[in-house]
Chain A
């Protein structure tokens, strides 16, 4: 796979290698952040766990201060309120807990992001509740393209509806972002680069250090 001919897609083996790289790097850098670690969950067909296939999971990501974001959006000039994520609020109603999964799409040969949010009590969040946690940019896209941005679809391995970002065009923008990398870096950097884009869309803050070399 010469980089110049690379079409922006990943094979299942590349996906697995990249997932491993992401888990390792995340664990190394994620010291002061309160983010949990990515874990690997093997897929099961009829109770038989797959040796090869699985998905990445980042579960229990807290998003506090829900409900205040709409105010922030109306008041963008006040820079200080944008950092609302870090405020700890006493009311448990406003605590939203998110789970993020990254699965491999054999059809598009790219990663797919699935996520769901629930309240501290376990109740699943609706799209309207999730909207309060999304960045303003995503809200705009969502209002323009209801069916092609964030939708609720069946999780490929859990057989239940999760929110997902449409994979259309993923290989195209990945080609732009990583097309000049060497073959080895390509595979290792793929998921962290991809995550820096899709994470932004769903309000998942990616530690900057993920992109530092070393």
Chain B
């Protein structure tokens, strides 16, 4: 048993190393309107850490383009195929969400003027990113422990050390501080302990997450739609407007009534996105089209893609079905334990970011 624990720990460590070293090669072009010199400057090739944020690259990008920038005050923002990029979403998540067929390098346009304030929240560089990160961390802590005290009570030195480690991608530095916050990992027997604790209401062990309350896992979902008849991801119509992406910031709660030893990724997404994942027949089956029954040859044998097959049986299929689920650049098997995904593929602010591509007949 102990050997298995050690093995699991080694796996987790390795997963964390891969995540923290992960980066998206970016090719950053200066927007035409900001070019004041001839010839126009060449684009900049730069690695964007998956767990990092675009504004943190600005000093290096500005240095590269400095000779050509117009005079005045910079308000830096990034754009991909006409879509202004939300700076508070980690670079890896933006890439997984917006680049259906991973493009390497990822061609982004940087603007130094004309900040689209109606679409993007204001960004004052590193400070804004730090506060956004801290707010997310506080929120995650509240979800996991029921309060944000661990984060609020961090010493000034720890706060600085944590932020520095996130900026530099320094996993060891991060772990030093992060383990003191006691925000995980979630244990696989979370469900069992939860159910016994529920019977003896509000008892001891307030320290360990999930002991006296249902276990809550911080999750942020980004759902985008693609064409219904999409065969190759490279043909996906680019996201032109953020209204085309549903952002769902909602913890996943593991309660006793689930009645299982472990919950798969499929189970968790079914709970969070019942419209698209639910395999239970919806109440409104009466209005399902007859065509649906005739073509329903559920390929249950294809266990690697249960999302698609279960979706086919659901009456919600009429509206949309899941084409792809991506976490940290990976398309995980839907049958893997959700808590493993949450523990090992989460971002440093303790959120698990999941991108979901849904086929929509309206596109």
Contacts and interface: CB of A to CB of B under 8 A. Distances in A.
A5 B120 CA distance: 41
Interface stretch (A65-73, A84-92, A148-156): A148-156
B320 A46 contact: yes
Contacts of B225: 46
B304 interface: no
Contact of B122 (A45, A152, A168): A152
A48 B122 contact: no
Contacts of B120: 161
A106 B250 contact: yes
Contact of B121 (A45, A48, A156, A161): A161
Contacts of A168: 138, 148
Interface residues of B, number: 38
Contacts of A161: 117-122
B247 A156 contact: yes
Given A47-B360, A48-B320, A147-B131, A154 B275 contact: no
Given A160-B119, A168-B138, A45 B248 contact: yes
Contacts, number: 66
A172 B300 CA distance: 49
B320 A106 contact: no
Interface in B49-97: 86, 88
Interface string B111-125: 000000111111000
Interface in B103-159: 117-122, 127, 131, 135, 138-139, 142-143, 146, 148
A46 B246 contact: yes
B246 A107 contact: no
B243 interface: yes
Name which of A45, A46, A168 has the most chain B CB atoms within 10 A of its CB.
Answer: A46
B139 A108 contact: yes
Given A45-B275, A46-B358, A48-B319, A107 B142 contact: yes
Contact of A45 (B86, B148, B223, B362): B223
Interface string A11-43: 000000000000000000000000000000000
B206 interface: no
B220 to A, nearest CB: 10
- The secondary-structure label for the interface of chain A is loop
A107 B86 contact: no
Contact of A154 (B117, B121, B319): B121
B138 A106 contact: no
A152 B243 CA distance: 18
A147 B121 CA distance: 13
B77 to A, nearest CB: 13
A161 B249 CA distance: 15
A18 to B, nearest CB: 19
Nearest to A45: B246
B202 interface: yes
Contacts of A5: 202
A58 interface: no
B273 interface: yes
Interface in A86-114: 106-108
B48 interface: no
Interface string B257-295: 000000000000000010110000000000000000000
Contacts of B142: 107-108
Interface in B327-359: 358
A104 to B, nearest CB: 10
A146 to B, nearest CB: 9
A48 B275 contact: yes
A44 B362 CA distance: 14
A143 interface: no
Contacts of B358: 46
B249 A159 contact: no
Contacts of A136: none
Given A46-B276, A48-B275, A161-B118, 15 more contacts: A45-B275, A46-B225, A46-B319, A106-B249, A107-B139, A107-B218, A107-B249, A153-B121, A154-B247, A159-B245, A160-B118, A160-B119, A161-B120, A161-B122, A166-B135
17 contacts: A5-B202, A45-B273, A48-B320, A107-B143, A107-B250, A147-B127, A151-B121, A151-B131, A154-B247, A159-B242, A159-B243, A159-B245, A160-B119, A161-B117, A161-B118, A168-B138, A168-B148
Interface of A: 5, 7, 44-48, 106-108, 124, 147, 151-154, 156, 159-161, 166, 168
Closest 10 pairs (CB-CB, A-B): A161-B121, A106-B250, A147-B131, A159-B242, A45-B246, A107-B139, A152-B121, A107-B143, A48-B275, A153-B121
